[in-house]
Chain A
Amino acid sequence: MRELLELLEKNARLSTGELAAILRRSEYEVDRDIQKLERDKILLSYNALIKWEKFGDDSVTAVIEINLTPQREVGFDAIAERIYRFDEVNTVYLMSGSFDLLVIIEGKSLKEVADFVATRLSTIEGVTQTRSHFLLKAYKKDGVIIEDEEHDHRLVISP
């Protein structure tokens, strides 16, 4: 199962036939394993990494540090939930260190993101402070180097 997950993590478009050959299992078994992993919520989704700017879309990404006052019984979880339920919110992590939540937000414009932070996030009860950082350039994401041009410098045939 681990190898199946590793393969899909790197390339979710591998066909069942390819996976079966690589894993030395039948296609039926591979499909069954994938269904089980999906059911068990281990395999959550199959995402593509897209360079939207190159496609022509301008978007703004902000990383926001949030400080919270933890609540009795539920700690940070209840506030985190209030935050991650917004569609605008892409990613939420609970952090150690000088702030509590790291939130990543994507929006169409600086203004849109700033408005969201000011009117939605900072007004949530328990949020004591927010610090927003806007991303300027992505160099590498999820193990993929963004600007990497793939060149095969090798001779076409060598002994």
Chain B
Amino acid sequence: MSKWAERLSPAVRSIAPSGIRKFFDIASKMQDVISLGVGEPDFVTPWTIRESCVYGLEQGRTSYTANRGLPELRREIALHFLRRYNLDYDYNTEVLVTVGVSEALDLALRAILAPGDEVLIPEPSYVSYAACTTLAGGVPINVAARIENEFRITPEELEPHLSDRTKAILIGYPNNPTGAIMERADLLKLADFAQKHDLIVISDEIYGDLTYGGRDHECFAALPSMQERTILLNGFSKAYAMTGWRIGYALGNPDIIAAMTKIHQYTMLCAPITAQVAAVEALRHGEKYMKKMVGEYDRRRRLIYDGLKKIGLEAFEPKGAFYIFPDISSTGYGSTEFAEKLIQAEHVALVPGNAFGASGEGYVRCSYATSIPKISEALNRIENFVKKHRR
């Protein structure tokens, strides 16, 4: 067996399997587990979107689409960015519909990286960023963001990690796992930094519609003179509760989008048409349902933030996505140990912070994409646990 393992690609072998597998195995065997470990909405896709997909199927919309995606979907996407951020993208040359943001991220990295090129990645970060960089032949350079700064990244923190191989910076705000956002002032500094060092910016804004407390999301590409150097990634999974549909998209300058399309046409051909049809409906008529879900997340966010604070687990108030990232070091446990003991003792599942990079050690990620009664019950159980185990 080991003989086969030795014959695998060195890049694949160099990547560690995701750190959450073990918890998944434990949690899925338990009956009464409350999971705060789920990285997707608990709502099902709004009916109008599902219904339009069903209608599309009835009408026989089962073919391939253009590699770049259905023209009407690309047009709706371009229109959305024009209306929302006053950003002008040509739907023929600057929009590519992908199989989720995951594919878009992979394409972006493969399109721009030469072997050995470095990508700056603020940490903690989504699990794919570093892995996809490695698979694309690049070198991920993780830069720890600090809790004191609510996990926002600054040029001063990035600067020491620059080299003559630095090609891009890969950011994801609102952030999974921390719930951090970047304010306009923070992003402007980052924009100057990118300009000064001529970096490509890959901005994963999949949680862009999920911001709270009256703050509107700041789109990186909409900052002065940033549109051209930004590869903007977004999709329907989080805001429209469409995770399983696998529809994302990339917006960028025509050269980069053409390069990404080249890879996409050979590896994926096109995103599934059924899901693209549904995505058109989401953009045309889905906004009010999306806003309702965002309102519901906001309520849960306030409940869980208050609850963790009362328990004595320090967390900064998350301003986006649907995660909160409390510091559990006061219990004396490390992230993994805390998560393991909690699920065994109290049947509450969450994800250890170190699954999102070394700088996540000492934290756990709690998702609040779960009903209010379940969050309340989970908080009770965590409180129980912390009382018994605080050292």
Residues of A within 8 A of B (CB): 3, 7, 11, 14, 18, 20-24, 152, 154-159
With a CB–CB cut-off of 8 A, which chain A residues contact B302? Answer: 21-24
Nearest B residue to A24 via CB reads: B302
In the complex, chain B residues whose CB is within 8 Å of the CB of A22: 299-300, 302-303, 306, 372
Q: Which residues of B contact A154 (CB under 8 A)?
A: 38, 40, 42
Residue B127, interface by CB 8 Å: yes
Assess whether A159 is in contact with B126, with CB atoms less than 8 Å apart.
yes
A156→B24 CA distance, assembly (Å): 6
A13 to B227, CA, bound (A): 49
Q: Which of B334-391 contact A (CB under 8 A)?
A: 349, 351, 355, 372-373, 376
Number of interface residues of B (CB under 8 A): 29
Q: Is the CB of A157 within 8 A of B306?
A: no
Q: In the bound complex, do residue B299 and residue A156 qualify as a contact, i.e. CB atoms below 8 Å apart?
A: no
- Complex interface: chain B residues within 8 A of A156 (CB): 24, 27-28, 33, 35, 37-38, 349
Docked Cα-Cα span, A115 to B275, in Å, equals 55
- The 7 closest A-B CB pairs, nearest first, are A21-B306, A157-B37, A156-B27, A158-B39, A157-B24, A159-B127, A156-B35
Q: Is the CB of A157 within 8 A of B376?
A: no
Known: A21-B302, A22-B303. A158 touches B372 (CB 8 A): no
> Given the complex of chains A and B, what is the CA–CA distance between A148 and B239 in angstroms?
23
Asked if B23 contacts A11 (CB within 8 A), the reply is no
| B269 in contact (CB, < 8 A) | no
CB distance B299 to A7 under 8 Å? yes
Tell me how far the C-beta of B127 lies from the nearest C-beta in chain A, rounded to whole angstroms: 5
Q: How far is the CA of A127 from the CA of B387 in the complex (A)?
A: 67
B127 cross-chain contacts in A, Cβ below 8 A: 159
Q: Can you name 12 A-B residue pairings with CB atoms under 8 Å?
A: A11-B373, A22-B299, A24-B306, A154-B42, A156-B24, A156-B28, A156-B35, A156-B37, A157-B349, A158-B20, A159-B20, A159-B126
With an 8 A cutoff between CB atoms, is B18 at the interface? Answer: yes
How many cross-chain pairs have Cβ atoms below 8 Å apart between A and B? 60
Do residues B28 and A21 form an inter-chain contact, with CB atoms below 8 A?
A: no
Q: Which residue of B lies closest to A154 (CB)?
A: B38
A154-B42, A156-B37, A159-B355 in contact; A21/B27 too (CB < 8 A)? Answer: no
Q: For the complex, give the distance between the alpha carbons of A18 and B38 in Å.
A: 22
Instruction: Give the residues from 11 to 25 in chain B that come closer than 8 angstroms, CB to CB, to chain A.
Output: 18, 20, 23-24
For B24, the chain A residues whose CB sits under 8 A away are 155-157
Smallest Cβ-Cβ distance to A158: which chain B residue: B39
Give CA–CA (A152, B127) in the complex, Å: 24
Say yes or no for B307: interface residue by CB 8 A criterion: yes
Question: Contact between A157 and B307 (Cβ–Cβ < 8 Å)?
Answer: no
Rounded to whole angstroms, the CA-CA distance of A126 and B64 in the bound complex is 66
The reply to whether B27 and A18 contact each other, CB–CB distance below 8 Å, is: no
Question: Is there an interface contact between A14 and B372, defined as CB atoms closer than 8 Å?
Answer: yes
A155 to B35, CA, bound (A): 9
Given contacts A18-B376, A159-B20, A159-B127, 8 further A-B contacts (CB under 8 A): A7-B299, A22-B299, A22-B302, A155-B38, A157-B24, A157-B27, A157-B38, A159-B176
Q: A11 to B42: give the CA distance in the assembly, Å.
A: 18
Most buried by B among A20, A22, A24: A22
Name the residue among A7, A14, A158 with the largest chain B CB count within 10 angstroms.
Answer: A158
Task: Find the A residue at minimum CB distance from B127.
Answer: A159
Separation of A158 and B369 alpha carbons in the complex (Å)? 12
**With the chains together, A22 CA to B128 CA distance in Å?**
33
Q: Are B372 and A157 in contact (CB under 8 A)?
A: no
Closest CB in chain A relative to B45 CB, distance in Å: 12
Residues from chain A with a CB closer than 8 A to the CB of B303 are 18, 21-22
Complex contacts, A155 vs chain B, CB 8 Å: 24, 28, 38
Q: A157 with B20: in contact, given A14-B372, A18-B376 (CB under 8 Å)?
A: yes
What is the CA–CA distance of A24 and B307 in the complex, to the nearest angstrom? 12
Distance from B367 Cβ to chain A, minimum over Cβ atoms (Å): 9
Given contacts A14-B372, A18-B376, A22-B302, contact A157 B23 (CB under 8 A): yes
**In the complex, which residues of chain B have a beta carbon less than 8 angstroms from the beta carbon of A3?**
299
Interface string of B22-60 (1 = CB under 8 A from A): 011001100001010111101000000000000000000
Given contact pairs A14-B372, A21-B306, A158 touches B42 in the complex (Cβ within 8 A): no
Residues of the A chain whose Cβ atoms lie less than 8 Å from the Cβ of B176: 159
Name the CB-closest residue of B to A14.
Answer: B372
Specify which chain A residues have a CB less than 8 angstroms from the CB of B27 in the assembled complex: 156-157
Residue contact B35 to A157, C-beta cutoff 8 Å? yes
In the bound assembly, the distance between CA atoms of A152 and B33 in angstroms comes to: 12
Q: Which single residue of chain B is at the shortest CB-CB distance from A3?
A: B299
Q: Which residues of B contact A152 (CB under 8 A)?
A: 42
Give, as a whole number of angstroms, the nearest-CB distance from A16 to chain B: 13
Do residues B349 and A21 form an inter-chain contact, with CB atoms below 8 A? no
Smallest beta-carbon distance A22→chain B, Å? 5
Contact, CB under 8 Å: B40 / A158: yes
Q: Which B residues between 117 and 137 are near A, CB-CB below 8 angstroms? A: 126-128
